[in-house]
Structure 1
């Protein structure tokens, strides 16, 4: 334990010798983990948004004006029997228009002059989890295209586009995250490299008096560990504060239109924050290892 404290004092002393370099490394790592935390928050909330959209996905059956009651009952019977359907609601033209007006809110004036029967009678279908599968949804839609049915609509095409957007966003965030991690590794590695050059004479003397390789290397590893730990703590703390502010005042950051999605910004689970905090020390140790492997000969 005493030796560990000795190594720690050496590491702190070496960092104080180069405050500008150590400060630059610390700030760089902090920015890196701030960005990684923000990417994590965005990815987590986008995943929640995708889940919410999928759960609220519905299908609609629109009847033609000439559809008979027997034809409508045939459609209802398919829905009652289907394991893909959680339930359905039948809307008359007047009910459909009233719902449309309520969804438009202050913009419903654009419907002035349209009759109450402007929209067709329809069935609003709530789907089970299995029913939200693209192939199953399409099979159900085909089965519902019976005489008397004018159209069957479902949001699967839109959902697939949204899913493609999410995948592209995740890949983009991953690419940027890898780039900033690489930048942080380079900064840590260069910090340790300059520390090695600065103490080259000291290292030679230590080896001459019989110091082990571990005795020489451990202070460098502690420097990298300290830089990584403090940098990740700084970045994660800033991201946590930003997340807390956004949750208190989502309108400060989120466009007004997102309110229609009925999804409030959520914070990362504690496991996510812990993983980010643990990434800092790991980054510091890896950067130190890369630097020592290339520049320190003991």
Structure 2
């Protein structure tokens, strides 16, 4: 079995060598298409990573009613800890709220430092455990709003919901993109394999005369299509990795700074395997379809 496969592979490589220019053009075209697809996958992966990273950073801010005693605040904190999903509570007094606003807004708050501390609401900053979804954050916020002494509740769940929806759309688009990509690859390899087959027609006829089966004759051409698809996909991943590496080396720290510490990563080994497999099998199917349509 392995000996026959080696023979088929040797003939497929000979076919590729014999049609070097045509194969190079088709492989280059496939590589370009797969590069666009792989870049899209890389964007989806890192968007998902950003979503997971930021979901851990989301806080719920509880604005307290004015005039609450220390005992009442402790009572509120105790009730909050009784709500599932809240792991950390930080009390920020009116004076601290004023100080942070003056520091963060700078010139926009000029003169406001003379205002009384009580004009700035005290807050409770709640840290959530794990990767909380929008629905979980919203459910916690509704429970908090019913607690006496809390005037208002704010959280970043709205943008989390929008980003989650956008990610779902991107994943669906990736599936459609992958199907279209496979179709284009099949079309390209089918054309190239068809030309190779006709250029080798005399050799094919001789093999038929000496009793070779159609499967034995055609399988190397199928492999040729698969190798074209695999080579195109592999080349696209190499170019994408080099682009990613250069980008990370030169602009990685700036990106992490502007995106709050998010680390951008390359495609996972599974994603790389999927891209290579898609390349091989779409190319292989291109060869099968090409010769299935052949009348020779």
Paired residue for 2:270? 271
Alignment RMSD: 2.8
Q: Deviations over 1:123-167 (max 9, x none)?
A: 00011238x344443343233333432201122222111111212
User: Which consecutive unaligned segments of at least 5 residues does structure 2 have?
Assistant: none
Aligned length: 291
Normalised TM-score (structure 2) = 0.85
CA distance in 2, matches of 1:252, 1:84: 32
Do 1:228 and 1:281's aligned partners in 2 also have CA atoms closer than 8 Å? yes
Moved more, 73-82 or 109-118: 109-118
Normalised TM-score (structure 1) = 0.85
Moved more, 244-253 or 81-90: 244-253
CA distance in 2, matches of 1:225, 1:138: 50
- 1:123-202 aligned at under 5 Å gives the runs 123-129=124-130, 132-145=132-145, 146-202=147-203
Paired residue for 1:109? 107
CA distance in 2, matches of 1:5, 1:76: 71
Residues 99, 169 of structure 1: alpha-carbon distance in 2 compared, 3 angstrom cutoff: farther
CA distance in 2, matches of 1:252, 1:172: 30
Paired residue for 1:285? 284
Please list every run of at least 4 consecutive aligned residues from structure 1 whose deviation after the TM superposition is greater than 6 angstroms: none
Paired residue for 2:249? 248
Do 2:102 and 2:110's aligned partners in 1 also have CA atoms closer than 8 Å? no
User: Which consecutive unaligned segments of at least 5 residues does structure 1 have?
Assistant: none
CA distance in 1, matches of 2:232, 2:139: 53
- Report the Cα offset of residue 215 of structure 1: 2.4
Paired residue for 1:294? 293
